Amino acid sequence: MTPYSSTLSSVLKDESRMEGKALWVSQPQSVGELLDSLKEAAEKGIDITVQGSRTGLAGGAVPAGGLALGLSKLKKSMEIKDGLLLASASVALGEAKVYLKRQRLVFAADPSEDEATLGGLFATGARGLKTEPFGRQVQELLWALPTGETLLARRGEACFDSTGIRIFNQSIKCPVPVKSRFPGVPFQGQDLIDFLSGSDGRLGIALNIKVKTFPKPKNSWAIAFFLKSEAQALSFAEAASDASREFLKALWIFDQNALSLLSKSRASLSGLKDIPEFPSDSDSAALAWLEGDDEEGIELAMSGLLDLFSESGGSESDTWAAEGIEAEKIAPLKHLAEEAANMELDKARLTSNAIRLSIENSYGSPIKAFRDLGESLVQGYRILSVLDGRIHARLFALQDPGKLVLGYALRALAEGGFFASDYGLGKAKRDMAIDLASPQEKECLMAIQQAFDPASSMSNRFFRAAL
């Protein structure tokens, strides 16, 4: 651990654009050094903030005055064995994808920020274009506890039941709900690995992971559908969500503001150079991703989507379809919207105190939620993942965006939904989650924090002092 100096100021921020403070910095090169830093910090009562590549959008890697513990210099290793990738958590997603590509393998999940570390993807519960979360594919995990000890978790070996979970040769007793309402609260039957995925640097550090890989599908297609009104786009979404999931792996709806933001960012975003101009009279768009080995099956699924698009008022001339490498150029539209949003935020900061928050609330009806959010959205955009009901909204320069997000979270929970968090709760949404928690959920969260982090030294913790 070395004292913080202003030459290291990059450790104070992440892509959420929040900025914190640090008194200490540690960038260990080996697991041994990392565990020593944890022990030293615990002994001195210093708050710890874990940092991967700091591409997170929820402020989880923003230090809170204590130690910024960066994993970027930690020794990297990768190896494929029995279809599993064994990798250190410091490996970047882009590095892993290149390594897998050489062997014609892919991950089931496809988060899009290549700089992000595998540990960061695991810790934030990251997903990408497709609905599969990265963490759900992890079969084995070497985990460092905040105390500097380690834990080896194997999928299937430890799961929560209604009374808690048995780990570290002890029982963590807590009332575990049947269904979880937000990340951090476990549910009955949940595997320890799935619970730790999404724990956002609150309960320790992922050191090594073993994650499933798959042969690259023989065929992949991206189709963009442009529609003249949001009502048409949502009617298409509703019809298409019932379509066969055998080949349809992703379907996203972009509202008019998202399309406008992308169009106006064209000159500055290199990824948009490969993407044609959107049809000038389009109000909303849908992006579908299909993949599989059965070429005929995919063609049938695509023509089914085109029929639904026509029935919703779309015209075939307002579609783009691309295969293989060309499809991969269109697919990052959602990623590019995130980049455009960050650029917009930086620009707005020059003149106003712009704030951006993410909402990923699954309602009973995500399409209704998407529509309702449009009515109250002052400035920003909405993107909806139709197949699993995730809404990503970016809110700019609002008076009180937190209040709007909280309102949506409350409604999502009241309607039996989930206050989801593709980007993690981080520091941006952690307090909101704790405000939403019931007394039983709080009891559960406290018992888990006490077991994993008895000195409550992780800066993203839910509770200031351990019980």
Ligand X SMILES: Cc1cc2nc3c(=O)[nH]c(=O)nc-3n(C[C@H](O)[C@H](O)[C@H](O)COP(=O)(O)OP(=O)(O)OC[C@H]3O[C@@H](n4cnc5c(N)ncnc54)[C@H](O)[C@@H]3O)c2cc1C
CB of 121 to ligand X, least distance (A): 4
CB of 173 to ligand X, least distance (A): 25
Identify the residue among 117, 282, 319, 358 touching ligand X (CB under 6 A): 117
Query: Strands, DSSP E only, in 243-359?
Result: 248-254, 284-292, 319-323
Residue (18 or 308) nearer to ligand X, CB = 18
CB of 183 to ligand X, least distance (A): 11
456 lies in the site for ligand X, by CB under 6 A: no
User: Which residue in 122, 130, 5, 144 sits closest to 56, CA to CA?
Assistant: 122
Cα 159 from Cα 152, distance rounded (Å):
14
CB of 341 to ligand X, least distance (A): 8
Residue (89 or 275) nearer to ligand X, CB = 89
β-pair type (138-144, 164-167): unpaired
15 lies in the site for ligand X, by CB under 6 A: yes
Write the single-letter amino acid at 111: P
184 lies in the site for ligand X, by CB under 6 A: no
Count of residues binding ligand X (CB under 6 A)? 39
Q: How many other C-beta atoms can be found within 10 angstroms of the C-beta atom of residue 275?
A: 18
Cα 353 from Cα 425, distance rounded (Å):
22
Per-residue interface string for the shown chain with ligand X, residues 394-413, x marking contact by CB under 6 A:
--------------------
CB of 439 to ligand X, least distance (A): 26
CB of 124 to ligand X, least distance (A): 4
User: Which residue in 313, 407, 400, 317 sits closest to 359, CA to CA?
Assistant: 407
Residue (66 or 314) nearer to ligand X, CB = 66
Could you give the 3-state DSSP secondary structure of residue 3? strand
- What token pair was written down for 277? 């101009």
Eight-class DSSP state of 356 = -
Residue (88 or 319) nearer to ligand X, CB = 88
Per-residue interface string for the shown chain with ligand X, residues 285-324, x marking contact by CB under 6 A:
----------------------------------------
CB of 118 to ligand X, least distance (A): 8
Residue (9 or 438) nearer to ligand X, CB = 9
Output the CA torsion 364→366→368→369 (10° steps): 100
Region near ligand X per CB under 6 A, out of 153-161, 379-387, 419-427, 448-456: 419-427
Write the single-letter amino acid at 463: F
Q: 38 to 67, contacts with ligand X by CB under 6 A? A: 50-57, 60-61
116 lies in the site for ligand X, by CB under 6 A: yes
Cα 71 from Cα 88, distance rounded (Å):
10
CB 282 within 8 A of CB 227: yes
126 lies in the site for ligand X, by CB under 6 A: yes
Helix axes 366-376, 230-241, angle to 10 degrees: 160
DSSP symbols for 61-116: TS-BSSEEEE-TTSPP-EEEETTEEEEETTSBHHHHHHHHHTTTEE-S---S-TTS
Cα 8 from Cα 67, distance rounded (Å):
12
Region near ligand X per CB under 6 A, out of 116-124, 187-195, 306-314, 406-414: 116-124
Identify the residue among 35, 96, 121, 275 touching ligand X (CB under 6 A): 121
453 lies in the site for ligand X, by CB under 6 A: no
CB 124 within 8 A of CB 15: no
Residue (249 or 308) nearer to ligand X, CB = 249
Distance of CA 437 to the CA centre of its chain: 21
Cα 209 from Cα 109, distance rounded (Å):
15
By CB under 6 A, name the binding residues for ligand X. Answer: 14-15, 50-57, 60-61, 71, 89, 111-113, 116-117, 119-121, 123-124, 126-128, 200-201, 205-206, 335, 338-339, 422-424, 426, 460
